[in-house]
Chains A and B, each alone.
Chain A
C-alpha cells in the first residue's frame, strides 16, 4: 500500500488540487474509500482542529482545509454511495432565532460534511419549530445550534424545550456553540455538548454517535 500521508498533509495545508489528484491516484491503485476517509481525511481534519485550538490556524486555514477535504470527498462519495455506505450520521445545523451570524455555523457545516456527515443547513434566524421539523423529517441524530450574540443564547434553551415538547428530545443529541456560549451555559440549558470551535463540533458529533473522535 502506497504511503498516503501526502494526502493527509494536502488537506491540512489546504491544497485542494493535490488532495484531489492524490485521491485519484490512491483510488486508481486500489485503496478503499472508507479507509481513505477514516485513516487520512478524518485525522487530517482533527489535526486542523488541533492547530485551530492552538491558535496556529485561523479562519482562512480552516476554510482552505475544508475545501481540500471536499475536493477529496467529491471523488469518494459516489463510490461510497454506490456501495450503499451510509453517511456516518445526519445533522441538522443552524443559527438560532434572532441571530443572523453564519460564519461559525458555515464552518461547522463544512467540517461535518468533511467528516462524513450528511448535513442539513437550516441557515440563520431559525425558530425552534423549524429545528424540530427538520430533525424529524431528516431523521437526524445531531442538532447543532449556533449563536454569536449573547442576546440570542436564550433561543438555544427555547429550541431544546421545543424538542422536549415535541417528544423528540431523546432521539437527538443537541450540540451548542458560538463565541459567547460556554460549557456552563450548555449545562444549564441541558444541551448534550458544547464545542468551543468548529473543529471541536465534529469530534463532539462523532463522540455522540459512539465513534472515536
Chain B
C-alpha cells in the first residue's frame, strides 16, 4: 500500500470533501460557465470553497480541475486551451493554500466527455489528455490524484495509467446509476468487475462517486469490498435532485447524510465524502458523526511500505 494512504487510513475513516460546482454557483458561477476557469478568473472564490471544506473537517480536499483535460476543454472552453496547465496548477495551488497543514490535496481528474466506443476519440488521444493533466497536477504538488466520475472502465483504466506515471498515489472511482437496480455504469459494468479491473490497473484507492444517494452506497461499497483488499473511497450524492421552482433541490439533509456513516464504514469504506448536493454543512455533520464512532485501527493490512 502507498505509505501516504497507509498513514492516512491508519486511525480510521478519512473524511474527504463535498460538492464544488454548486458551491461555486452560490458564489456566482453562471449556468453553463466552465467552473475550472475560475481558478484563473476568480481564485479567491475557489480558495474560499476549498477553505470551507477544510474548516468543516475534511482531511482530504479535492481541486477545481474536474474538467481541465484537453479533450473536454477543446469542446467547451476553447479559449482556455492554451491555459490548460495554468488552470490545473492554480487549482492545486488554491486548494493547498486553503488546506495549509490541516488537510491533504487530492487533485481531481474527471472524464473527457467523449465515448471511446463511439470512435469520436482514440485511446491514444484519451491517454495523452490525461497524461498532460496528471503531470500538471502532480508538478504543482498535489498529494494524490483522483480519477473520478468515470462511467466507462476503459476510459478509467487509461486515466489510471496516466496518473500512475506521476508516481503519486491514485484514487479511481466509478459512477453507478444504470440498469434495473441502478448498480451498473452506463456502459453496463458492475462494481465487482470494475473494482477488480482498477486493482489490476494499479489504483491505490478504488471507489464510487456520484450516481446514487448516500442510502444506496453501503450496499455498493460492500460489493467492492468483497472482491478487493484495497482501500475504498465512497463519495455519495446527498440524495437525487428535484427541480423545485426552477432550482435543483437535494432532499437529503446533513443529519440524514451523516446518519449513514456507520453503515458505510462498516461496509468497508476508508474514505468517505459527499458529491452532488453536499455542502460544508453536510461535511461538518459527517465529521461529527465520524468523530463519535469508536476508534478502530484500519482493518486493512498496510503491507510493506513501498511506493
Contact = CB atoms under 8 A, between A and B. Distances in A.
A164 to B, nearest CB: 18
A54 interface: yes
A100 interface: yes
Interface in B1-45: 25, 31-32
Interface string B179-192: 11000111110000
Contacts of B246: 153-154, 157
B177 to A, nearest CB: 8
A113 interface: no
Contacts of B177: 179
Interface string A113-156: 00000000000110000000000000000000000011111110
Given A59-B188, A180-B241, A100 B76 contact: yes
B31 A58 contact: no
A63 B118 contact: yes
Contacts of A125: 32, 76
Given A54-B180, A58-B178, A63-B118, A100 B248 contact: no
A55 interface: yes
B197 interface: no
A149 B32 CA distance: 10
A97 interface: yes
B248 A59 contact: no
Contact of A97 (B32, B115, B118): B32
A60 interface: yes
B75 interface: yes
B186 A55 contact: no
Nearest to B77: A100
A38 to B, nearest CB: 27
A77 interface: no
Nearest to B246: A154
Given A58-B186, A63-B115, A103-B186, A150 B243 contact: yes
Contacts of A153: 243, 246
Contacts of A97: 31-32
B123 interface: no
B117 A151 contact: no
A43 interface: no
A125 B32 CA distance: 7
Interface in B219-245: 241-243
Nearest to A155: B31
Interface in B49-74: none
Nearest to A181: B243
Chain B: number of interface residues, binned into ranges: 20 to 34
B186 A59 contact: yes
A185 interface: yes
Nearest to A63: B117
Contacts of B117: 59-60, 63-64
A152 to B, nearest CB: 7
B118 A150 contact: no
Interface string B110-128: 0001010110000000000
Given A55-B180, A63-B115, A180-B243, A151 B188 contact: no
A152 B241 contact: no
Contacts of A47: none
Nearest to B188: A58
A193 interface: no
B23 to A, nearest CB: 13
Interface string A56-99: 01111101100000000000000000000000000000000111
Contacts of B32: 97-100, 125, 152
Contacts of B243: 150, 153-154, 180, 185
B113 A102 contact: yes
Given A55-B179, A151-B248, A106 B76 contact: no
Contacts of A13: none
B193 to A, nearest CB: 13
**Considering the complex of A and B, which 6 residue pairs feature the smallest CB-CB distances, nearest first?**
A58-B188, A98-B32, A150-B248, A55-B180, A98-B31, A150-B241
Given A58-B188, A59-B186, A102-B113, 15 more contacts: A55-B184, A58-B186, A59-B188, A63-B118, A97-B32, A100-B32, A101-B113, A106-B115, A125-B76, A152-B31, A152-B32, A153-B243, A153-B246, A154-B246, A155-B31
Interface of A: 54-55, 57-61, 63-64, 97-103, 106, 124-125, 149-155, 157, 179-180, 185
